[in-house]
Amino acid sequence: MTPEVARLTNDIMIAVGEQQTYLTRLEHQLKELQTREYLGLKDDPELSLILLIDGLKRFLSSIPQFRSYWLGKKSQFSNLSGGLKGLDSSERKNFGQDLNWFKQTVESELAGIQQRAERLEIEFRLLSERLDVTLPPRPSPIGLIHPISRTIEEITAIFGAMDFVVGEGLDIQTDWYNFGALNIPAHHPARADHDTFYLPGERDGRPLLLRTQTSDAQIITMLNQKPPLRVIAPGRTYRADHDATHSPMFHQCEGLAIDRALTLGHLKGCLIDFLRSFFGIANLPVRFRASYFPFTEPSMEVDIGWNRRTGELGGGGDWLEILGSGMVHARVLANCGLDAREWQGFAFGMGVERLTMLKHGIPDLRLFFESDLRWLRHYGCNPLAPVMLHEAP
Interacting residue ranges for ligand DAH, rule: CB under 6 A: 213, 215, 254, 293, 296, 324-326, 347-349
CB closer to ligand DAH, 19 vs 214: 214
CB closer to ligand DAH, 30 vs 267: 267
Q: From residue 317, how far is each of 275, 285, 294, 358 by CA, in Å?
A: 17, 9, 30, 16
Give the span between the Cα atoms of 262 and 284, in whole angstroms: 24
- CB of 216 within 8 A of CB of 173? yes
- CB of 12 within 8 A of CB of 70? yes
CB closer to ligand DAH, 147 vs 326: 326
Instruction: Find the radius of gyration of the CA atoms of the chain.
Output: 41
For residue 289, the cross-strand partners are: 301
For residue 328, the cross-strand partners are: 296
CB closer to ligand DAH, 106 vs 169: 169
Nearest distance, CB of residue 358 and ligand DAH, angstroms: 17
Nearest distance, CB of residue 275 and ligand DAH, angstroms: 15
Give the span between the Cα atoms of 159 and 167, in whole angstroms: 12
CB count within 10 Å of CB 377 equals 10
Nearest distance, CB of residue 224 and ligand DAH, angstroms: 17
CA angle 166–183–336, rounded 5-degree value? 55
Q: From residue 356, how far is each of 23, 264, 307, 381 by CA, in Å?
A: 68, 26, 17, 12
Q: Where are the alpha helices (DSSP H) in 206-246?
A: 216-224
CB closer to ligand DAH, 151 vs 215: 215
Nearest distance, CB of residue 268 and ligand DAH, angstroms: 13
CB closer to ligand DAH, 19 vs 196: 196
Nearest distance, CB of residue 253 and ligand DAH, angstroms: 9
Nearest distance, CB of residue 357 and ligand DAH, angstroms: 17
Nearest distance, CB of residue 255 and ligand DAH, angstroms: 7
CB closer to ligand DAH, 319 vs 375: 319
Before 393, cis peptide (omega within 30)? Answer: no
Q: Which residue is nearest to ligand DAH (CB)?
A: 349
Give the span between the Cα atoms of 189 and 170, in whole angstroms: 23
